[in-house]
Each structure stands twice: as C-alpha cells, then as structure tokens.
Amino acid sequence: MLLRKRFHAALTELTDQPDEYAGMIRVAADAKFGDYQSNACMPLGKKTGQSPRDVATKLVESLKIEDLCQTPEVAGPGFINLKLRDEFLSNTIADMLGDDRVGVGVTPNPEKIVIDYSSPNVAKPMHVGHIRSTVIGNALAETFRFVGHHVITDNHLGDWGTQFGIIIYGYKHFGDPDVVAANPVPELASLYRLTNQLIEYQKAKASLPKLSEKLAEAESNAKEEAAAAEAVEKDEKASNKEKKKARKSAESAQRRIESVQSDIASTQAKIADVDNDPKLSALSAEHEDVPAAVLRETAKLHEGDAENRELWEKFLPHCKDEINRIYDRLGVTFDHTLGESFYHDRLPGVVEMLDGLGLTTKSDGAVCVFLDGFDSPMIIQKRDGAYLYATTDLATLQYRHEVFECDRILYVVDSRQSEHFEKFFAMAGPLGMDNIELVHVSFGTVLGKDGRPMKTRSGSLIGLESLLDDAVARAKDVVCNPERLANMSPPMGEDEQNQIAEVVGMGAIKYADLSHHRTSDYRFDVDKMVALEGNTATYMQYSYARTQSILRRVAEEQNIDDIEDWVIKNVTADEIQLREPAERALAIALIRFEEAIEGAIGAYTPNQLCDYLFDTAKSYSTFNDACRVLGNTDPVILKTRLALVVVAGRVIKQGLRLLGIGVCDRM
Ligand code: ARG
C-alpha cells in the first residue's frame, strides 16, 4: 500500500524498526475522522520515552504524502488522521479502469512456491473434511500466482496406505471380477465400505468397555464440578468471576458427558447395523481377523508382492477418476499429482542418509531421530521394516528441493497434524535444506449444523458429492425460484438456470469455508451458505450481476455496443468526480483491493479477501441505492458512476476468481 510505503520512509528517521510501525495504518472507524488512521505513535512514543503527540508531530513533518492526502491531523493521544485527496482517488480509479490487473501490482521478489494441498487418501470416498485443504490451497495458489510468484501445485495423494489394503482385501474376499470390471468406481467404493464396515465393527466392539469407563469418569467428574459450583455459589466471599468460572466448568463437564454418550450411541449404532443384518453378521463372524488381515495386505503391497501390486495398478486409476470428478466440479487443477507411492523407492535412501549423518538411533528395533526440543522422537522405520508417513514426507522434501528448487513450501493440512509438521520441519536444518521456508498452513474442522462433527447416524462421514449436489439444489431454489424468475427479462431457460445453480452452489460451499479464519472450526449450514444476504458468495455474485445488469441497461439507453470498452476508452481521470459520500466510500473500498490481497497472502488467510469483498459489495449496494446511473443527463455524473460500476464489477469478479469462485452475468 502506497501510504504504508510513505510512512515507512518517514519512520526510518525516527526508529530502526520502520516495518513494525508502518503497518499500523487502518481504515478509519468513522469517516468523520478521515479515511485512514495511523496508531503508530503511541507504541513508538512509549518505546522512545517521548510523548506520542510529539512523535506524531515529528512524523507528520517528515511525511511526504501531499499527492495522496490532505494535510494530516494529529488527534487525541497521538493518532494521525488521514484524508485522501479527491484527485488521488479519481486518478487511482482511472488507472484501475485501464488496467487488466485492476490496480494490483506484481511482486518485486517472485519466489518459487510449492503448494501441497488437497492430498486425500484415495480409495475411500471423499468426505466433507477434504473440502478445506482443497479450497484453501486452491485459493492460495491462485492468489500467489496472481501477484507474480511462480507457484507449483502438488497433490500429495495418499495412494499407498492402508486404504489399499482394505480394497485389496475386499476384492479378494467379496469382489466379483466381472462386476468390478464392468463398473469399477462404484463397485470399488462399495467393497471399501463393506470391508471398512467390518473393521469398524470389530473396533467398535473392542472400544465399548473403554467408552463405558470414560462415561463413568465423566459422570463422576461432572458430579464433583457441580458440587464445587454449588459451594462457590453459596460462598459469600466468592466473587462473581469465580462463580461464573465454576458454573462454566460444571457446564463443560456436563457437555463432556453428552459427548461421550453420543460417542457411545454412534458406536452402538455401528455394532447394531451389522448385528441386525443377517448377511453382514455372518460375514463378520467369518472375517473376525479383518483388521490385522488388511494390514498384512498393505505390507505385501509394499514388499512388492506381484498379485497385490497388480491389483493396486488396476485400482488406482479408478480411484483417481473418482476424485477427479470432484475436482472437475470444483474447478480445481494441479500441476503435479505425486502421491506417496511415487516416493516409495526413495525411502530406504532417506534412512541411509539420516544414518550417514549420524542422526538415527535404534529404539525398540525402530529407527528413530531424536530432535532437540521434542519429547518424543520421529520414527522413520518401524521394527518390521515398514516406513512411515514422516519418511515419505522427508523423501518428498528432498525431491522438491532438488527437482523444483523451490524457495517455500506450503502444506495445507488439518491442524491435527501440527506435531508431525513441527518435527518434520525441525529436520530440514540437519538435512541441509533450511534455505526453504516451510509453512504448515493449518486449518480447523468442518462441523455439522449442530456444532458436532459431521457424521451419519452410524458415524461414517458424509460423502462430499452428496453435499455438493445438495448445495446446487438449494442454490437453485434461492436464485431461480418462480418469484425471481418472473422478473427476468429475457426469460431464463432451464439450461441457464442449471448453470447458475452450479456456479452459485459451488461458490457457496467454497466461500463458506474461505470466509472463516482457517484455524477456526465452522459449521456446515447449506441454507446459510446460499443465502442472498450476508457474507456469502451468493451476495457477492449477486452484486456482480447487478453491475452487469446496469451496464447492459446503460448500453441499451446510450446505444453502445461494448459498454465496458467504451467506459475504459472514454472516461478520463478528471471526469471522475466523487461528489456523493456513497461514491467516495465506494472508490475508497475499491482502491483497497491490493491491500486486501497483500493481507491474505501475508498470513495465508483468504478470509481477509472475503472480508474485503463483503465490505466492497456493501459499499456497492449503498452506492447503488443512493446514486442513479441510468437516465443521467449530466455527462460527468454519468461517467463517474459508470467508471465506479465497471471497476466494482471487475474487483468483485477478480476477487472471487482468486478464491476459485465464478460469477454469472445475471441472476
Ligand atoms: N494424505 C494426508 C491425509 O489425508 C495428507 C497429506 C498432506 N501432505 C503432506 N505432505 N503430508 O492426512
């Protein structure tokens, strides 16, 4: 941001940490005080032992911002209030108008960045948990690429793990080769489900005693907490804060009981599903050994057993077809899909290399690396010779270092894997790869509408595809209902409606995910996601469609063929005159586009871009209500407003595109 750069220059005279203080510029909370405000002088004054107001006065003296702002004002304890010059706003809007990149600069320091995202374990159907990595990773890839970094996307498929042991076992025992050959994708999925159900059944039965113990524990704990809370309640000396704290603990102990009860209910449901089905219960009796047997099938695959290898080669393409169907729908692509199997042959080399560097220790027969600052070691080979997830990640890092020669790698992976990544990143130094910046872009969980993990009654995860279908169907109800369709001219045919429903449905799911800070959990609520009002993709898409509809009507009114092109060619900076507050507010929102992108990139937080788009769409809506575009005879007013409409449309469209979300010309 230009203002920040100017502050930076002036701050170098006052401190040796200009970066820190230059960042303290915010959009003013109240337009009365100006457009932006710097809060830098309070901490800076404190640090240098001067009065913040004096620091502010000094800073204002050395600031060179006459071309951007009116004379800055020092206010209150030492705020600096800034009001942008109208000419600066008009010039910037005019520049954005004529710029394909809508005013977003290209980075002066392009880096080679590998983004490891989506990376599902294939062979089992994709579920809602897979959406986060896919959607966040894709948005980051688009955004980093847009600002000029060299982005390499890599889908690190789990194509070598136990899931394959599961379908191999299923195929060998329950599969009919002809049926599978005729209809591989659904057949393999159902073999996976059946085998997995038998495994889960065994596990569920084995876990019941533990769960009852847990319940008893939770109940006695809740009793204690409740008694303690009652005692505090009666205690006259206890403060309100203490009472509240005790009440909270008692409530949370109560909730813990409910959560264990719900685990027990779903475990019992899992067991009942098999017990109540004669065919399943017969199978389960016959295959009591299934959990261990699938592990043996997986081990055989890894050891190069010819039959299992052949089956794996036969099944993998079908598993890929299955996930590619989802990627196609989401409009997500990858430069590389180098799954875990790709690195299999390199794993012995990883262990050798670590041995050679003297980093390994044998512990209980397993090969381990003990790391400073960690209680437990990183295991890289089990005593039975099997390699681990971490071993593969080390081989992958080596490959990316040598072949991609990257500067940075982003791992867009669930926060439950934090410990794995912390340990794994700590290995980069000893391996001589600490010139690569390694980042775990972690994220929280997708919860159901009720705030609980999203599962079916018996605890299996809900398939991703059915959720996508559901979102599209609801999108159609919201956007193409009879009432809205009646107002469409020309009428909207079935094809167009379906196309819009798909764009709105996919956008809704993606935006709902991206608009939450990635580290927090969020509730998957389709009705909220597709709503036309609020911080939703639908609202943003609708705002975009409104810009296009206005442009179409003006084109008709003025008899102009390509209205956007006409505006770009015919509106000059001095014709953009922001007289109405709503015009000015919209212009300020629009010129902040680059700033929003910088924020989203800086902390790997696409939600910052979502917040920005929401603010911008709201400013656009206020402008739309207050400032007529159609039927204006004053050419300056018309041109000013047309320029704002065009730039608003392009900012929203481009912003959504960076989030992986499409738009429609009308809806
Ligand atoms: N397949 C893994 C999972 O589903 C995620 C892989 C993430 N990428 C990585 N390089 N470890 O949990």
Domain shared by 645 and 601, yes or no: yes
Ligand 1 near 7 CB (within 6 A): no
Domain shared by 306 and 418, yes or no: no
pTM score of the predicted model:
0.89
Q: Is the peptide bond before 184 cis (omega within 30 degrees of 0)?
A: no
Question: Looking at 417, 447, 477, which one is the last position of a domain?
Answer: 447
Ligand 1 near 161 CB (within 6 A): no
CA nearest ligand 1 atom 6, residue: 119
Q: Is 461 exposed, middle or buried (0-12, 13-18, 19+ CB in 10 A)?
A: middle
Using only C-alpha atoms, what is the Rg of the chain? 30
- Domain with 270, as residue range(s), is 163-311
Query: In the prediction, which pLDDT does 203 show?
Result: 93
Ligand 1 near 322 CB (within 6 A): no
Q: Which ligand 1 atom sits nearest the alpha carbon of residue 161?
A: 1
Query: In the prediction, which pLDDT does 459 show?
Result: 59
Single-letter code of the amino acid located at 220: S
Distances (CA, A) of 618 to 89, 93, 310, 582, 666: 19, 18, 57, 11, 18
Whether 460 is covered by a domain: the verdict is no
Mutate to test the pocket of ligand 1, among 116, 159, 413 (most ligand atoms within 8 A of CB): 413
Ligand 1 near 654 CB (within 6 A): no
Ligand 1 near 339 CB (within 6 A): no
Distance 382 CA to ligand 1 centre (A): 19
Distance 126 CA to ligand 1 centre (A): 14
- All residue ranges of the chain with pLDDT < 50 are none
Ligand 1 near 24 CB (within 6 A): no
Question: Looking at 280, 311, 342, which one is the last position of a domain?
Answer: 311
Distance 156 CA to ligand 1 centre (A): 6
Domain shared by 220 and 253, yes or no: yes
Distance 394 CA to ligand 1 centre (A): 13
Ligand 1 near 302 CB (within 6 A): no
Query: In the prediction, which pLDDT does 460 show?
Result: 64
Whether 591 is covered by a domain: the verdict is yes
Ligand 1 near 156 CB (within 6 A): yes
Ligand 1 near 119 CB (within 6 A): yes
Whether 497 is covered by a domain: the verdict is yes
For residue 38, the domain's CATH number is 3.30.1360.70
Domain shared by 269 and 339, yes or no: no
Backbone dihedral angles phi then psi of residue 405, each to the nearest 5 degrees: 45, 50
Whether 664 is covered by a domain: the verdict is no
Distances (CA, A) of 229 to 133, 216, 221, 239, 257: 42, 20, 12, 12, 17
The 3-class secondary structure across 586-615, one letter per residue, is HHHHHHCHHHHHHHHHHCCCHHHHHHHHHH
Ligand 1 near 114 CB (within 6 A): no
Question: Looking at 268, 295, 311, which one is the last position of a domain?
Answer: 311
Query: Could you give the CA distance from residue 413 to residue 518 in angstroms, rounded to a whole number?
Result: 11
Whether 106 is covered by a domain: the verdict is no
Query: Could you give the CA distance from residue 394 to residue 421 in angstroms, rounded to a whole number?
Result: 11
Q: Is 190 exposed, middle or buried (0-12, 13-18, 19+ CB in 10 A)?
A: middle
Ligand 1 near 120 CB (within 6 A): yes
How many domains in the chain? 4
Ligand 1 near 127 CB (within 6 A): no
CA nearest ligand 1 atom 5, residue: 119
Q: Map residue 245 onto helix, strand or coil.
A: helix
**Percent residues over pLDDT 90 in the chain:** 84
Q: Map residue 511 onto helix, strand or coil.
A: helix
Query: Could you give the CA distance from residue 258 to residue 215 in angstroms, rounded to a whole number?
Result: 9
Cβ atoms within 10 Å of 129's Cβ, excluding its own: 16
Q: Which ligand 1 atom sits nearest the alpha carbon of residue 130?
A: 4
Ligand 1 near 513 CB (within 6 A): no
